[in-house]
Amino acid sequence: MGSRLVSIFLVSIFSISTLSGCFGNENNTNDIENYRHWLPDVEDRSDMIYKDDDVFSRVSINGTYEIDEVRSIFVPVPTITLTDGGAGITGDAEVHLGLWLPIIEGCDMESQELIDECRVPIIAEIGPYYNDGDVDALTPADRLGRFLIENLVPHGFGIAQISVFGTGESNHCMDLMGYDEQEGIHAAVEYLGKSSFSNGAVGIIGKSYDGSTPWEAAAMGSEYLKTIVPMSGLIGAHDLMWRNGSMEARGAIMHNGVYGSFGLDGNLEDSQNACEGYLEGYYAGPAAYLSGDNLAWTGSDYWRERSFLDRALENYNGSVYIIHGMQDWNVDPHMAFPTHNILINAGFEVKGLYGQWGHDYPDREGGHSGLSSGRGAEAFPHTLRWDWADDLLEWFDYYLKNEGPKPRLIAEIQDNIGSWRVETSYPPEDQEWLNYDMNFCTVISGGETVTPTSSLIIECPKFNEEVRIVGTPIFHVEASISPLSTSGHLFVEMVQSSNGMHLGHAVMDLRFFDGGKEGQVLNPGQTVLAKMEFFGMDVIIPEGDGVQLIITQTGEDYIPSPVSTLPVTLGLGASTILGLSTVNRACSELFLPPMQQPYPQCN
């Protein structure tokens, strides 16, 4: 930790650019608060130089501890009992983890009587992929584990790679984020918090499924869980798979068709998958496809078990650092918005990092460079955040060690052409709405009746100045379903008028015309005002350009329910409104990430 003092001194005497390379010494850092913070504010990092010769970012200052050999640990989960089936029948349910600790001089990390100076905080990465599509839990994983181990163990953190039930060396069944899986995660957190080598502070980080396990842990609550960093994570399984009653193609088979096979590897433990959640997966997906809702009205708790945000708000007492790609259409951005502001309003300490990348990490050039136009390509290479490792080190230092200044609780957001800025919340509070009813817009292609094979294209007036559309714009459209149907389905894509570039999209099963998660029974031929809301957007429309709406029955990977496939007729008058949520931001309010050229639009 003493190596940071050198950096602080150099920053004070020279300039931020002197942070190129890695430093290291053994000075004491007890007086660190008397010096300038070792990591400049994000707006002041543009001159910093980072190593970029690996697939991920590196901290600018090397830690001083060596990395010990990995430990293989099995954690009993006694809360899995006979009624849960699987390993509950034999009473030996356990989750497996690999643990890397720093080598601290004078400390025997196996001792049960360690002094405080020997105890370290633990950062866990938890998921189903160890030995199932990736390395085993005892090998640093390229998806995140190696990044954490090589960057953070030398700075005095322990790193754990943990397999959820039914995967890797963990037994029991593959429960796909259900209560059993949550119990296993909770047991691992409690073990890591109570162990003699631990200072009692645990953080969880991960992406995708591994970015959902932090929410699972938060939903369970633990005195040892101090911070979570969910990246492209699910606040709930049904929340992701269904949007206003519309199902993603994978929704009906997510449990048994996609992840169920992770627990089947041809050995005697395959029988442990005969547990409640796994069996429920066979009907919960198809049944939710038919209804569009979470089946609570049937008495099923399958989807309620897999909803985390509400329980996290009740049970969790820590900080949250949300990271999400604005072009992530695997785990859509509505997992992050309005979650960010919900957490702020509930009193949590929250930070966000929202770049125009896809289902990826903030620092992975290989993934960022492959994005297509309208899906992040225009923002590359400014999407790359080589300062991300430093950013995490600052975050974990404060929330797991109580060291250093408190990180700024901000949202770092990037627009679709690459520019980064800081917001105090996201979406920002100072939004202004531009509302256009269809009397001010023009049909340029198609008719008002939309069939499974037709489209309707509407163009709205050009803007006389640059417009920044942020958050979740709306399209409230008068829609009449077929006299032969009890619902309908709409998909709306917003594109830039001049070049057809994708800007955003919205989807709805008309049974859910009021939004939310509870649909209504419609009568054949009924007319409703469908209150469609676009997924999260942060896009720039140049002066003299505008937007078009391309309306079809479906798009992306959404599938209309069996009652939603007949034509829908739209009313294109004053009652149908396109609402654009906008903010004004000047070039002076933008910041440049490290190792990037200035933004062309601000030259």
Q: DSSP characters for 501-545?
A: -EEEEEEEEGGGTT-SS---PPPTT-EEEEEEEPPPEEEEE-TT-
pLDDT of residue 316: 98
Domain ranges for the chain: 3-38, 68-317, 432-583
Reading the block at residue 61, the tokens are: 């200052």
pLDDT of residue 259: 64
| SS3 state at 121 | strand
Residues 128 and 167 sit within 8 Å (Cβ to Cβ) = yes
Other C-beta atoms closer than 10 Å to the C-beta of 257 total 13
pLDDT of residue 158: 98
Query: For residue 528, which amino acid is it?
Result: V
Residues 595 and 492 sit within 8 Å (Cβ to Cβ) = no
What DSSP string runs through 211-255?
HHHHHHHHHH--TTEEEEEEES--SBHHHHHEETTEEETTGGGII
The predicted model gives 31-52 an average pLDDT of: 80
Q: How far apart are CA 481 and CA 488, in angstroms?
A: 6
Q: How confident is the model at residue 24 (pLDDT cuts 50, 70, 90)?
A: very low
Q: How confident is the model at residue 529 (pLDDT cuts 50, 70, 90)?
A: very high
pLDDT of residue 288: 78
| SS3 state at 171 | coil
Average pLDDT, the chain: 89
| SS3 state at 475 | strand
pLDDT of residue 277: 66
Question: Using one digit for the tens of pLDDT, what is the confidence trace for 27-36?
Answer: 333 333 433 5
The predicted model gives 557-567 an average pLDDT of: 89
| SS3 state at 358 | coil
CA distance readout (Å), 579 to 74, 183, 259, 475, 509 = 53, 43, 39, 6, 20
Residue 17 or 479, more confident: 479
Residue 38 or 314, more confident: 314
pLDDT of residue 565: 87
82-107 burial code (b ≥16 CB/10 A, e <16): eebbbbbbeeebbbbbbbbbbebeeb
Q: How far apart are CA 374 and CA 550, in angstroms?
A: 15
pLDDT of residue 133: 83
Question: Using one digit for the tens of pLDDT, what is the confidence trace for 301-340?
Answer: 888 999 999 999 999 999 999 999 999 999 999 999 999 9
Q: If we measure between CA atoms, which residue out of 194, 377, 173, 360 comes closest to residue 276?
A: 173
| 601 alpha-carbon distance from chain centroid | 29
Q: How confident is the model at residue 266 (pLDDT cuts 50, 70, 90)?
A: low
CA distance readout (Å), 33 to 62, 251, 400, 401 = 20, 50, 17, 14
Whether cis (ω within 30° of 0) applies to the bond prior to 381 is: yes
The pairs formed by 252-259 with CB atoms below 8 angstroms and a separation of 24 or more are 252/285, 252/286, 252/288, 252/289, 253/285, 254/176, 254/281, 254/285, 255/176, 255/280, 255/281, 255/282, 255/284, 255/285, 256/281, 256/282, 256/285, 257/285, 259/128, 259/174, 259/176, 259/209
Angle between helices 388-401 and 145-152 in degrees, nearest 10: 70
Q: What is the CATH number of domain 432-583?
A: 2.60.120.260
Reading the block at residue 496, the tokens are: 């830039």
pTM as predicted? 0.92
Query: For residue 2, which amino acid is it?
Result: G
Contacts of 362 (CB under 8 A, 6+ apart): 57, 323, 353, 355, 383, 384, 385, 388
The predicted model gives 66-77 an average pLDDT of: 98
The kind and range of the H/E element at 281 are helix 276-291
Residue 561 or 235, more confident: 235
pLDDT of residue 603: 63
| SS3 state at 99 | strand
The CATH fold assigned to 68-317 is Rossmann fold (3.40.50)
pLDDT of residue 30: 39
| SS3 state at 500 | coil
Residue 256 or 37, more confident: 37
pLDDT of residue 562: 86
pLDDT score of 182 more than 80 = yes
